[in-house]
Every structure is written in C-alpha cells, then in structure tokens.
Amino acid sequence: MGEKKRILILTADAGFGHRSAANAIAAAFEEAYAGRCVVQVVNLLDEKGVPPFLRDTQADYDKMVRQMPDFYKLEYQLSDGSAPVAVIERALIVLLIRAIRTLIRDFNPDVILTTYLLYMAPLDAYITLRKLPIPLITVVTDLTNVHRLWFNQGTDLCLVPTEEAYEQALSNGLAPDVLRVTGIPVNPAFARETREKPAIRADLGWAPNIPTALVVGSKRVKHLMNFLNVLNHAGFQLQFVLVAGGDNELFKQFQATEWHSVTQIYNYTDRMSQFMRASDMIIGKAGGLMTTESLACGLPTLFVDVTPGQEEGNATYVISRGAGELARTPIDALEILFHWLYRDHHLLEERARNALALGRPRSAYKVADLAWQAAEIGRSIPTSRMMAWVPKFKELLKTFEINVTEEN
C-alpha cells in the first residue's frame, strides 16, 4: 500500500450546516477509504493569525439571524454582486493567506475541500503563487440562492446540491467541466440506517406504532412554542419528538408544558439520523442542514421559520416540489397538518414520496470519491489562467507587504 492521501477539509461554525457537511465528508472518507487516507477538518477562522473580527463573524451571524433578519437579508443581497464580491475576495486574500500558508505547510495536503464560502479566493491565491499541485474543491452548502462567493474561478471542482445551483454556477462564469451535482453531504449514517420505522422507534424507546412528528428547535428558531401550543391542543393522533437543539431555555419550556400527545423530549441528540429515519414528518427551520437531511430521509417538512436570504431558497426548493409547506402562523400549521393527516395520511404520503425523490443520502460518498480522484490527478486549472493571475495576486500582496512566494 502506498503513502496515505492527506485530505484537508476547511469549514466554519457560522450555523450548523458548514461543519456538518465537513464532518459528513470526513466520515465518508474514513469509511470508504479506510486505512488509505488521513483526514483533517479545520475551522480556518480559528487558526492563529486570523484577525479576531473575522473570527467573530461566526457569532455575529447567529446574532444577526436571530435579532435582525431583515438587516441580514439586506447585507446578503448587497454583497452578492460582481463588484462587492471582487472587493471582498481581495480583502479575504490579504486577511487569510498567512493562516492558509501555515496550515498547508503543516499538513501538506493532497487535496483541499472547503464547505465555507470565504476561503476559495485566498486558497487559490496561495496555491497559484506557490505553483502547488493541490486541487481545490468547493462544496456548496446552500440548495439555491447561492452567493457568488461560492463560485470562484480558481476551483478545480465545484460540487453543487441542485440543478438550480448548477445553473447559477454557469451564469457566474464556471465551466461545465468543473461542475458536478452531488447534493449537500449528509452523514453516511443516513444511508446506513435501513430498518423500518417501528423497529427504530422501539430501539429509541418511543411508541413504535404511532405516526411521529420530529420537531427540531434551536436558538435560531423563532416562536416555536407558539406553534407547538396550538398543535398540542389539536387532538392529532401523533407522537411528538421534541429536540431543543441545545437551547436550554427551550428545553425547559418543553419540560414545563403539559403535553396532550405521546411526547419524547430531548435537549440535544447525536442520533439525528435515527430520529429522522424513525419519523414521518419534520417541523422546524429551513436551514440547509435540516432541509438536506430531511430530504435524504424522505421526510416532508413543515417550515415554521425561514431566515431571509439563502434559507428562502431552501424553502422554495422543497415547497415547489411538493415535499413540504410553510406555516407563517400557528393556525397555518394547524391547517397544514390537518390536510396532511386527512384521509388516512394521503397527502402526507405524497409529500414523503416527493421528498424521497429529491433526497441524496449517499452524497458524502460521492463527494469523497470525486475528491479522491482529484487528489490522484492533481490540480486541473489551466496553466494560462494561473499564470495570468500571478501578477494580480503579487501586486495585491505587495501592497500589504505580504510575501508567500518564498518560504522562510
């Protein structure tokens, strides 16, 4: 057996989705290429040398989404243009290239994947200036409404989740030969769990033969208890599985409520693949992670919260394909659930079939296979393109007295 391939996966902790996708890819590598690779998942923003204000954008994202969603939407829209993106990318090169240099020196990767949109420009600048053969792979973690920062010309492969994202990538200048539709990577456990729902429920200690609604909350899900208070008094023959997502205040509210249906309550779980496979529907937010995992399990989604920006695209993608619905008020949720359960769950089953048709439970394996092939081939960016950009990168870094062309 030859030398092990070294796989570097860069991510961030602005929301759950970027980290989850990175961990899913790592798990797929470690399963499919066991003993043949070394995988490292790194939050680049936590690395030494990254300016604190840039690191703090992760916490700022959470705050803005919760407290100022309209302002977040405006900021997202204003930054999603060719001129703003060009300025942002130049700034990111200056701010992150030193940390990237140290990381690549220390780990010496054969391939680099990124599940976060801020890293491609500085990665491309460093790899190009150093003339390194390391392929760069972008793994987009938004279903649609994809920000332009994801579509950097320096990527060897851009892996997108949907045909809509594929078309967006084309319209932003990426060539078809660097694009693949893979879905957003979900944990391989979603593909491995093949038992029938009653068997999984029994294993989890739930009532095995009652239709089950999985409710996923967190600090980012607004007004969830308002929706649940109405559904709790509707008399539905449902088992509710409530997960607070680590939100201690919400968990206390779950515990303090007198529930009128069979109810299972959790603050947090690391068995989400089993929870989803054991459920018949899911109620929660239109985040990329939850939406993708729900589709992978064929779960219809009742959205009760949508953050302006990319989450609007997630919700639209699911709803327009008949795999879910949006409730803007608790009464909306009541009506939707009634229709789903009416006539022996006819509409619920239709929504489930539609969700299953959209799901890609083996997406992480696909991403790992493509990255493995890229690691064996090396960088595929045309030399003419790389050389054309060398003077531009040098000029930018010279302005800030940064030199990465000579190792020292």
Q: Give per-residue pLDDT as tens, 23-59.
A: 999 999 999 999 999 999 999 999 998 988 888 776 6
Same domain membership, residue 62 and residue 179: yes
* CA triple 190-192-197, angle to 5 deg: 70
Amino acid in position 298: G
Residue 405 lies in a domain: no
d(CA 184, CA 17): 9
In DSSP terms, 113 is beta-bridged to 9, 137
What is the side-by-side strand order in the sheet with 324-326? 263-266, 239-243, 212-216, 281-285, 301-305, 324-326
Same domain membership, residue 201 and residue 170: no
For the segment 284-317, what is each residue's pLDDT rounded down to a tens digit?
Answer: 999 888 899 999 999 999 999 998 877 888 999 9
Residue 384 lies in a domain: yes
Q: What is the C-alpha end-to-end distance of the chain, expressed in Å?
A: 34
Residue 145 lies in a domain: yes
Same domain membership, residue 332 and residue 222: yes
Q: What is the predicted pLDDT for the residue at 408?
A: 45
Same domain membership, residue 225 and residue 103: no
d(CA 59, CA 205): 36
Same domain membership, residue 217 and residue 168: no
Q: Which residue range(s) make up the domain with 159? A: 5-188+362-399
For the segment 69-93, what is each residue's pLDDT rounded down to a tens digit?
Answer: 654 554 555 566 677 788 888 989 9
Consecutive 10-residue runs of the chain (408 residues): their mean pLDDT? Answer: 90 87 97 96 93 76 56 54 81 93 96 96 94 96 90 96 95 96 94 94 97 93 94 95 95 97 96 96 92 96 88 92 97 97 96 96 97 94 80 86 70
CATH of residue 101's domain is 3.40.50.2000
d(CA 382, CA 389): 11
d(CA 299, CA 355): 6
Q: What is the predicted pLDDT for the residue at 403?
A: 83
Residue whose token pair is 């989604």: 301
Q: What is the predicted pLDDT for the residue at 71?
A: 44
Same domain membership, residue 203 and residue 183: no
Nearest partner of 387 among 154, 151, 70, 107, judged by Cα: 154
Same domain membership, residue 162 and residue 49: yes
Same domain membership, residue 280 and residue 223: yes
Residue 83 lies in a domain: yes
Same domain membership, residue 234 and residue 224: yes
Q: What is the predicted pLDDT for the residue at 45?
A: 93
Q: What is the predicted pLDDT for the residue at 58?
A: 67
237 backbone φψ class: left, alpha, beta (φ>0; ψ -120 to 50): beta
For the segment 344-356, what is each residue's pLDDT rounded down to a tens digit?
Answer: 999 999 999 999 9
Same domain membership, residue 306 and residue 211: yes
Residue 380 lies in a domain: yes
Same domain membership, residue 132 and residue 249: no
Identify whether the C-beta of residue 317 lies closer than 8 Å to the C-beta of residue 162. Answer: yes
Q: What is the predicted pLDDT for the residue at 79?
A: 63
Same domain membership, residue 216 and residue 117: no
Identify whether the C-beta of residue 139 lies closer than 8 Å to the C-beta of residue 108. Answer: no
> How many separate domains does the chain show?
2
Residue 193 lies in a domain: yes
Residue 238 lies in a domain: yes
* CA triple 324-327-329, angle to 5 deg: 170
Q: What is the predicted pLDDT for the residue at 75?
A: 55
Nearest partner of 42 among 91, 103, 87, judged by Cα: 103
Residue 406 lies in a domain: no
